[in-house]
Structure formats: C-alpha cells, structure tokens
Amino acid sequence: MLRGGSGMKEFDSGQAGMVNVREAAKILGVSTQTVKNYIYSGKLRSFRTSGGHHRIPHEDLTTLGFRELRPSRQELIESYDELYDSYVNTLRCLTSALDARDGISSGHSRRVANYVVSLAEVMGISWEEREAITLSALLHDVGKVLVSERILSKPGKLTDQEYHLIRQHPEMGEKIVNEVEVLKTAKAPIRHHHERFDGKGYPDGLSGEEIPLGARMISVAEAFDCITCDCTFQPKKGLDEAANELERHAGTQFDPDIVKIFLEEVVSKLRGRDIDQSGDTDFFHDGGRTGGVQHSGGSE
C-alpha cells in the first residue's frame, strides 16, 4: 500500500495493540485533528487499513518518548477554536430552525447576536464577557421551543392565555441552558432580555442597572431587528423609523446609553446599504396589547 504520509505504513491485520484515531485522541486528551497532525508531521507512527483508516500502536501513546508530543499552546488554541466553532455553528443551525417557527424572517437570532457583538466591541467589553453575551444573544429565544408554533406565528391578537404562555419563554430558556455547563453564563441575559429599563418588564420586574448588561443589549438589538424585518404580524420599517422607535423608548423600555451607542455605531454603519437579512454581517408584541416597541412572535 502507498504511504499516505511520513508517519504512515501498511497495516498488518495480524498486528495487535492498535487503536484508531478517535481512541488515540481520547487517550491523549486532544482532538482527533491534533492526532492526525502528529501523523502527517511524522511524529507518530500510523498504519493504514485497506479501507484507508489509521491504526496507531498503543505502545507509542504510552512510552516516555511520546510525552514530547504533548500539544503546544498553539495546538491547544487551534483545537479549542475548532471545537468552539463547530459548537457555535450547531447552535446557529438550531436557532435558525427555531426562528422559522416564530413568524419572523430567517436569521433573527443570528442577526441579534451579530448586533450584540458589534455593540460589545464598541463598548470595550472583555473577551470572556463578550463570549457569554454573544451566546445568550444567539439563544435568547430558545425557550420558545416549548411554545406552540400556532401561537408563535399567529398574525392576529393573542388571547390572554396565549400571551401568558409567550411571556414564559425567558424563564423556560433559562432552564434549558442551565442544563448545559458551558451555557450557564448565558442564562441571566436569556432570563432578563424582556425586562424594561423602567421596571415594567418581565419576568422579575428589574429596572435600570439591575438588569444584566447582556440582557439590556439584547433588548435593543432584538427590537431593532424585529422592526426592520418582515414578520407575520407587522411589515418591516426602514432604518429611520427603527431609529426613531428606539429613541422614543429610550429610558423607558431600553437603556438610553445602549440605544445611543447602538444608533451611533451600529445603525450608522447600516445606512447607505441594505441590511443583510441573512444574518451574515460578520461574526414582541402587538402595540395594542401592552404598548411599547413591537416585538416578534406576537409577544414582548
């Protein structure tokens, strides 16, 4: 068999003590790609089966000499980035499917996350906090997965019972992400993204800076996206109208400082070009029900 790389040899089916790439990665505590990189660079012996799969001598993973192959800091960073990107892309796919149930144009959650990223960069938020806020923005409506699609996409006025169910989605979202260790930092913004700056929001009636910063950012970004996108319950509006709506509710529904930054740094960059409705910008309710800026899914 032809050698596939400097560390690859023909596999003898009679050889014992062999492990595959996934098993080797588990033993070493690294990603499968890192193991393959070792093979391709010649640092690790690999035998190829007739099906083209790698088989690695177990003894090579446990000998003292192999300890020199401990992943470097750069390799660890690359492995983390690879896993994290895969994880976030999975979440994006899931939230896209959720958005499709919610009566708003595709990509809502992704666009909200992108707007929040832009805000965080301007506001000088630390990388760790920015990561948590971005995940919470992407998943802010995840609790709606437990709400009937009939209610979410209803074009007309909601009944009191339907509105009550809609209002529970922040709390349900918090419970969902609380079951995932890596998402626990996102639960507070998810729970509180429908609080109002004047204390008249839900679920806990927090006001001002009692509301987590991430939740205040999501509130502004989500309202803007809902205003500027086509929904089953309202037609989209232009940038000027959206900006006016945010300004009109600054200090009551929204944090006025965040509204100011959003208009100056995010909306200003959107002027002169179409808003990217796909959500790739790289990285509510009927006004007659409770008043305030109209939001998606017939709920605030």
**Cβ–Cβ under 8 Å, residues 183 and 173:** no
Residue 82 DSSP label = H
Active site residue 236: no
CA distances from 265 to 109, 124, 137, 220 (A): 20, 13, 18, 13
Q: Which alpha helices (DSSP H) does the chain contain, by range?
A: 21-28, 32-40, 58-62, 73-99, 108-123, 127-138, 149-152, 160-167, 169-178, 187-192, 213-227, 239-248, 256-261, 268-270, 287-290
Residue 292 DSSP label = S
**Cβ–Cβ under 8 Å, residues 101 and 153:** yes
Catalytic residue among 144, 175, 237, 269: 144
Looking at the DSSP bridge assignments, the partners of residue 57 are 18
Q: Which residues contact 65 (CB under 8 A, 6 or more apart)?
A: none
Q: Which of 153, 294, 142, 135 is nearest to 225 (CA)?
A: 294
Q: Give the helix/strand (H/E) hosting 57.
A: strand 54-57
CA distances from 222 to 199, 219, 260 (A): 18, 5, 15
- Cα–Cα distance for residue pair 198/212, rounded to 1 Å: 14
State phi, psi for 105 to the nearest 5 degrees.
-60, 150
User: Which are the catalytic amino acids?
Assistant: 144
